[in-house]
Amino acid sequence: MAKAAFPEQQQWASLGEACQMLQVNEATLRRWADKGLVRTYRTPGGHRRFAMSDLKALTEQAQPAAGDGSTQGAMAEAALRHIRRRLHQRTVFSQAWYEQIPEQDRTRLRLFGYRILTLASDFIAGRSKRQNLLSEARSVGEEYGAETSRLGLPLEHAAQAFAFFRNSLVQGLQEATPREDTITSVYRTWLQVNTITDEVLQGIIRSYDKRYSTGR
C-alpha cells in the first residue's frame, strides 16, 4: 500500500495513538505498516503518522489482507481463510472457549491471531532478527494471556482458543505449500512455525502463572 500523496485529505494518528487503538505494541504496528497494511506518511520532523481509516478497518474487521505475493504471504492468506471459515461453523459456537468470549471482545482476540500469522510469516522469510521475533512472540502470548484471563477464561480454554488459531495456521501452510517443495523444505517450515507458536504458548502460560502467583 503506497504512502498517501495528500495527507491532509486523510485523518492520521500518531504511533502511540495507533498502538492504543489497535492494542498492539510498536514493533507490530511498524511491521504492519512496512507490509503496507496501514498507510503512513512522515511529518517534517520524521515522525510516522498512520491512516485512521486503515486502523478502523483493522479493529472492525480484524481480517486485513496479508498477501504480498510470496509463499509466506500465501500461507497467511490461506490461514485467514481457514479462520474465517471455521468461525462460521456451528461446531465452533458450541465450544466452551468461544461461548465465554463476548462478541465485542472476539475482534480483539482475532487481532492476536493475525499478529501470530505476521510473526510466523516474517520468521519463515527471515525478515527480521530471529531473537527479536521470538521475543515479540512471547510478548504477544503474554498479552493474549492477560486478555483471556481478564475475560475470565481458565487456562484450559485459553489454550483451546490458541490451538484453534494455531491449527488454522498449520492448515494454511499445508494449502499454500508449493507442490514442488521437497520434504526437507516443508519440514523446515513446519519447525519454524512451531518455534514461533511455542513461544506464544509459553507467553500465555507465563501470563497465567503471574496472575495466579499474585492472586489477581
Select from 95, 61, 96 the least CA-distant residue to 80.
61
What percent of the chain is predicted at pLDDT more than 70? 73
Q: Which three cell numbers stand for residue 46?
A: 520524521
Q: Answer whether residue 1 shows pLDDT above 50.
A: no
Please give the domain boundaries of the chain with CATH numbers for all domains: 7-57 (1.10.1660.10), 63-214 (1.10.490.10)
Q: Which three cell numbers stand for residue 156?
A: 484450559
pLDDT per position as a tens digit, 118-147: 888 788 877 778 898 899 899 989 989 998
C-beta atoms surrounding 115 within 10 Å: 23
Select from 162, 164, 155, 166 the least CA-distant residue to 205.
155
CA dihedral 76, 77, 81, 84 (to 10 degrees): 70
